[in-house]
């Protein structure tokens, strides 16, 4: 890590080291890392300045994830001033925001509405509440976040013309760069990022500028900028991983796994989504040797969808199966594994029935196999199909649990705290990959055993299997070079009451009792060692 002697790095709290290597970004994730580093500075007087400098960098990352947060701007300005790391003009670029931003008195209600996921209710609350606080920058901040999340680029640019932002040219340019990037106007994004960087030492803006160069066909300029940034900030793990992917050609590598591959899909009462899934799968180039679709006793049009899909695939490569009842996800996976095509396969891929794979999905996973043949499973980056700038899952890493949780570990999800600017387009081992689209070597599956039916009907059976692979010394490998669209919009099931919530909580408790603290620690240590090796920490 940057300017930290090895002994200091090894004395940092275990969970902090994992978080620092898991991701460099995400508002809450970066804020937690910064606070952890600031706390560690109190017990490391000789390294205090370096630790606080790293904490400042984390706070800047958090601010960049939410550039109109007055609270974060105040934190950055205060620590940057105390360390002498920010110039007077750079602090002045944040000061108007600090002065004009405050949380409304009814913030608790706003958070409730945001958690419910109803954008119309959120927008109505903002309009009604803003009338009483016309000068508060909290409101354009939230309107911008809402517009970006929904992909309403024109509205987002309109909000940037708000007269209240006139005194914040650096932050306004920083935000405008993101809007233009996401809408594909890379020439405008370049101008905005350069203007922002001329006024303030943003970090993610430099990485996004490198990606802007690449997407404009200026690969050498982008690579040089990325390499310079990674050398200057070696703690920024995603910069190092992205640089490694680009420099090695992994971003372009695509070759199917050697041997026979079977793709398995299991479904229940999702005919419309399944039709889209199978249409995408039929467009595979190259495609799997066999495709098996298991209908878990659907009562909708699923049988007709499966029957009509058969004609999309080469003769003899597609087969549908039907069960009279829904046996749940883990049992469905095991059923598919017992079919003759899967028993004879060298590799087995499982896809959710609402996963939309690109044509080269199998080649991208095959490239990951070639890069890490020792892995237990290979998985993809998952984005929302209707809004691909919204990340749903990337690589997952275990950290020690916070008090009061259901599990003996936490799974940080910084990818849920930021939009997709290519920062997760890399390849490395991890503790778990999502079961939405993942590939197994058949021999490893047989050695590890099937999916645990105690996690029926669904949720955490794939995580449980990944943890078993970790204990066997075969860590999963994530490749962000494969981006898979997921029709289901995630984020509400975990907080909404009802059957799904109860089932999920029950399966978390099963998971908690299945592994000893020593086993969980062993998994964390193996994951940390693999991340350290990849990042050169």
Taking residues 108-137, what's their average pLDDT? 86
8-state DSSP, 419: B
Q: How many domains does the chain have?
A: 4
8-state DSSP, 455: G
- CA distances from residue 327 to 351, 464, 509 in whole angstroms, order as listed: 17, 18, 21
Query: Is 535 in a helix, a strand, or coil?
Result: helix
Task: Say how far apart CA 124 and CA 257 lie, in whole Å.
Answer: 51
Closest CA to 142 of 128, 77, 434: 128
Query: Is 424 in a helix, a strand, or coil?
Result: coil
Structural domain contains residue 162: no
* Residue 291: its H or E element: strand 290-296
Structural domain contains residue 458: yes
H-state helical runs in 283-423:
302-309, 329-337, 340-343, 361-371
* 51 and 88 together in one domain: yes
* 345 and 474 together in one domain: yes
Task: Say how far apart CA 358 and CA 40 lie, in whole Å.
Answer: 44
Task: Say how far apart CA 181 and CA 171 lie, in whole Å.
Answer: 15
pLDDT higher at 454 or 230:
230
CATH code, 241 = 1.25.40.10
Mean pLDDT of the residues in the chain: 92
Structural domain contains residue 69: yes
Q: Which residues contact 433 (CB under 8 A, 6 or more apart)?
A: 377, 378, 379, 380, 393, 395, 396, 466, 476, 477, 478
* 405 and 453 together in one domain: yes
How many CA atoms lie within 13 Å of 77's alpha carbon, on the beta-carbon side?
18
Range in 132-141, 305-314, 361-370 with the lowest mean pLDDT? 132-141
pLDDT digits (tens, 9 = 90+) for 367-423: 999 999 999 999 999 999 999 999 999 999 999 988 777 778 888 999 999 999 999
Q: Which domain holds residue 50?
A: 6-99
pLDDT beyond 80 at 117 = no
pLDDT digits (tens, 9 = 90+) for 481-526: 999 999 987 532 222 223 333 446 677 788 888 889 999 999 999 9
Residue found by looking up tokens 């899967």 in the block: 342
| pLDDT at residue number 116 | 82
What residues form DSSP beta bridges with 356? 485
Does residue 217 come out as left (phi exceeding 0), alpha (psi in the -120 to 50 range) or beta?
left
Phi and psi at residue 180, in whole multiples of 5°?
-65, -35
Contact 58, 34 (CB under 8 A): yes
**C-beta contacts of 334-339 below 8 A and 24+ residues apart:** 334/450, 334/451, 334/453, 335/266, 335/294, 336/264, 336/266, 336/292, 336/294, 337/264, 337/445, 337/450, 339/292
Structural domain contains residue 187: yes
| pLDDT at residue number 490 | 52
Question: What's the gap between Cα 512 and its chain centre?
Answer: 24
| pLDDT at residue number 537 | 57
Taking residues 308-334, what's their average pLDDT? 94
* 277 and 291 together in one domain: yes
pLDDT digits (tens, 9 = 90+) for 62-82: 999 999 999 999 999 999 999
Compute how many other C-beta atoms are within 10 angstroms of the C-beta atom of residue 377: 25
Structural domain contains residue 319: yes
* 141 and 216 together in one domain: no
* 373 and 500 together in one domain: yes
Contact 420, 390 (CB under 8 A): yes
Closest CA to 40 of 72, 7, 76: 7
* 20 and 91 together in one domain: yes
Structural domain contains residue 255: no
Structural domain contains residue 160: no
């Amino acid at each position: 890590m940057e300017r930290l002697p090895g002994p200091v790095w090894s004395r940092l709290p275990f969970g902090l080291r994992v978080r620092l290597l898991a991701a460099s970004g995400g508002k809450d994730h970066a804020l937690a890392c910064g606070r952890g580093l600031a706390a560690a500075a109190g017990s490391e007087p000789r390294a205090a300045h370096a630790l606080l400098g790293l904490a400042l960098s984390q706070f800047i990352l958090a601010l960049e994830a939410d550039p109109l947060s007055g609270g974060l701007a105040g934190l950055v300005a205060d620590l940057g001033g105390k360390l002498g790391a920010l110039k007077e003009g750079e602090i002045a670029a944040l000061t108007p925001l600090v002065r004009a931003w405050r949380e409304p008195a009814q913030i608790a209600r706003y958070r409730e509405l945001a958690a419910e996921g109803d954008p119309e209710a959120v927008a109505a609350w903002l309009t009604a509440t803003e009338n009483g606080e016309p000068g508060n920058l909290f409101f354009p901040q939230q309107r911008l976040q809402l517009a970006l999340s929904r992909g309403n680029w024109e509205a987002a640019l309109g909000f940037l013309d708000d007269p209240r932002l006139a005194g914040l040219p650096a932050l306004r340019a920083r935000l405008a760069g993101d809007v233009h990037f996401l809408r594909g106007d890379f020439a405008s994004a370049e101008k905005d990022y350069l203007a922002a960087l001329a006024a303030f030492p943003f970090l993610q803006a430099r990485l996004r500028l490198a990606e802007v160069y690449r997407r404009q066909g200026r690969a050498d300029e982008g690579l040089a900028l990325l390499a310079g940034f990674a050398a200057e900030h070696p703690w920024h793990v995603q910069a190092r991983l992205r640089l490694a992917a680009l420099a090695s050609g992994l971003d372009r590598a695509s070759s199917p796994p050697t041997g026979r591959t079977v793709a398995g899909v299991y479904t229940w009462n999702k005919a419309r989504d399944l039709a889209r899934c199978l249409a995408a799968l039929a467009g595979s180039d190259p495609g799997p040797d066999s495709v098996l679709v298991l209908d878990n006793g659907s009562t909708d049009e699923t049988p007709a969808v499966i029957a009509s899909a058969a004609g999309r695939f080469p003769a003899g490569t597609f087969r549908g199966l039907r069960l009279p009842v829904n046996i749940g996800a883990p049992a469905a996976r095991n059923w598919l594994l017992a079919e003759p095509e899967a028993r004879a396969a060298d590799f087995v891929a499982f896809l959710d029935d609402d996963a939309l794979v690109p044509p080269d999905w199998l080649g991208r996973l095959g490239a990951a196999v070639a890069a890490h043949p020792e892995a237990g499973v290979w998985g993809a980056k998952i984005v929302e199909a209707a809004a691909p700038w919204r990340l749903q899952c990337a690589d997952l890493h275990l950290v020690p649990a916070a008090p009061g949780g259901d599990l003996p570990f936490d799974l940080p999800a910084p990818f849920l705290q930021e939009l997709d600017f290519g920062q997760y387009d890399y390849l490395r081992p991890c503790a778990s990959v999502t079961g939405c689209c993942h590939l197994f070597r058949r021999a490893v599956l047989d050695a590890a055993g099937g999916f645990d039916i105690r996690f029926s009907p669904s949720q955490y059976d794939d995580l449980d299997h990944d943890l078993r692979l970790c204990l066997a010394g075969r860590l999963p490998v994530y490749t962000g070079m494969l981006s898979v669209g997921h029709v289901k919009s995630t984020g509400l099931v975990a907080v909404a009451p009802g059957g799904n919530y109860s089932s999920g909580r029950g399966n978390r408790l099963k998971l908690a009792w299945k592994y000893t603290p020593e086993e969980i620690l062993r998994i964390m240590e193996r994951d940390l060692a693999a991340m350290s090796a990849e990042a050169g920490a």
